[in-house]
Amino acid sequence: MQDKLSDDQPFLPPRSLLLLALAAGLAALLAFAVNADAVVAWGALGIAVLALLGWAFTAPQQVRAVLTGRTLRFGGTSLLVTLVVLAALVAIYTFVRQANLSVTLSESNEYALSSEGRAAIAAIGADPSLPQVHVTTFISATSAGIRDQLELLMAEYVSTSQGKVISEFVDLDRNPLRAEQMGASNPNQQFVTRLNAEGEPDIEEGELLRFFSQDGLTNAILRNAVAGDFRTWFIEVEDGPAMNASGPEGLSTLSLGLEQQLDWTNREVPLLDFTRPASALRLNDPAIDGEIMIIAGGSRPLSEPELAVLTDYLAGGGKLILLAAPGLETGRAPLAADAALGDWLHQHFSLRFRNDMVLDRSQAFQNPLYPVSTELDTSHRITQPYSRGFALVFEAPHSIEIADAPPTSVTVTTLASSSADSYNMTDFSAVLEGNIEPEETSLTGPLVLAAAAENSETGARVVLFGSTSMLANGFTGINGVANFDVAVDSIFWATDFEDWFSQVNIQSAARPQDAPLFADAQSIALINVITTLLLPFGILAIGALVWFNNRESAPQGGQ
């Protein structure tokens, strides 16, 4: 005869509700771990809660058994031991923090000075002539975790530099004005600058590190502590663009960039000022790290004394960037295309400007008077970074003549050329009247518009550009046009600035344990399931199984 359920006996066995709660809970955790649909995850969690409540209502005696008896006694002891251990850990942490004790347990050097960085910073501390460097680290409530690591790292910078590095942490939310002055907008950004004569951070000369990097921070400290002495001589010439002029033809973008970002010294002077007895100006000064002379434009040829200053400077290993004025003068040759200067350059550097103008009716910017060069040398340091996908725009440029057989001590490189459809003209009056048809004697493209030459015997370097548009403000910031970048790199190449710059930059050696690991979405989901679900809840399930097997059995009958 089949047993019938009594009126007070539940339809479903309580154990099945408990198993349902466990299964639904695991399903909810799995859904959250793999970023599944939120409706599915929360639905499974709701089912787990309802099943657990159903178990509690249908089997109250089992709930009481969990909360009373031997389970509670042993569980209470475990809870007490856990609380004692936590209290001990808090006490130990408080003591270590107040005693300022620290030890690096990580295998990564990101928050502990690398050997390369330690050597560089120690050298700063050993040199009494170097200024102090102030590092401001911006923090917020959201960056409390990384702040402890940065504090330990900055303490190493301070101690290793023997106090030459000064560290300060500033809260972004409490000091918005300070953050605005230094350009910081996010936590963990750092502002590095030297101290001025008054002992205050020189904000105008500092630099902002938008992303934390130990090598980046070390190099910024080195740049601010070991500032090189580099000078740019902008030569005053008739009708030439001014160094500080902010108009389209001015050179203010270049001069301000060199001065404010690289801490160069810029001076705009006539050539003859270098020869005056009372002048403090000196060319080829061995005490400085580098210098360059820039002659941009000029409608009048150099006088004999001016030419003598320039040629003596180059003969002594000087560096020159010469930019020709637009070829529209009908009465005389402009400064760059003057015969006396051209003959000297051709004799000593195997190049010179022609007194002409290059036009291009197929590859031009706005009109044929603005030929565009896309043929940039792929190997020279000046143009190699821009040889693909970039162009140079010239304004009524002069072409450059290069000798067929330069001396063995001279190396000449064509940096940029016009297209094959370009041609030159020497009748400027015809161009001014609107006649741009090629002449019978016109040279056809490609024609050299930019070239660099180096004399290995004297160390002199010369860069020629066919027009002043290479440095003009009006040609900066144009998408795909690399005029300004090429001009700046020509200055760096001529002065060996990057070689000097590399001497005050360190690169920590890469270590195998610092190599990044990559995983696809499926692997990440599997890792989440194993670490957040399988391992912890597997151990929990084993513990529950042990508890279930060792639970105290209810007395049977009269036993």
Q: What structural domains does the chain harbor?
A: 14-68+527-550 (no CATH), 115-225 (3.40.30.10), 230-503 (3.40.50.880)
> How many Å apart are CA 262 and CA 290, to the nearest integer?
13
Per the structure block, which two tokens stand in for 76? 């209470």
Residues 6+ apart with CB under 8 A from 257: 488
User: For the residues 135-141, what does the mean pLDDT come to?
Assistant: 91
Q: pLDDT category, 341, cuts 50, 70, 90? A: very high
Q: What share of the chain is helix, strand, coil (3-state, %, to 5)?
A: 45, 15, 40
DSSP string, 288-343: SSEEEEEEE--SSPPPHHHHHHHHHHHHTT-EEEEEPPPS--SSS--STT-HHHHH
Higher pLDDT, 315 or 30: 315
Range with the largest mean pLDDT of 22-36, 191-205, 249-263, 289-303: 289-303
How does residue 1 score in pLDDT terms, banded at 50, 70 and 90?
A: very low
Q: Is 227 exposed, middle or buried (0-12, 13-18, 19+ CB in 10 A)?
A: middle
pLDDT in tens, 291-332: 999 999 998 999 999 999 999 999 999 999 999 998 666 556
Residue 164 in this model has a pLDDT that exceeds 80: yes
CA 85 to chain centre: 46
Angle value at C-alpha 86, between 83 and 87, nearest 5 degrees = 85
What is the structure's pLDDT at 104? 59
Question: Among the residues of 496-557, which ranges form H helices?
Answer: 497-503, 521-529, 535-550
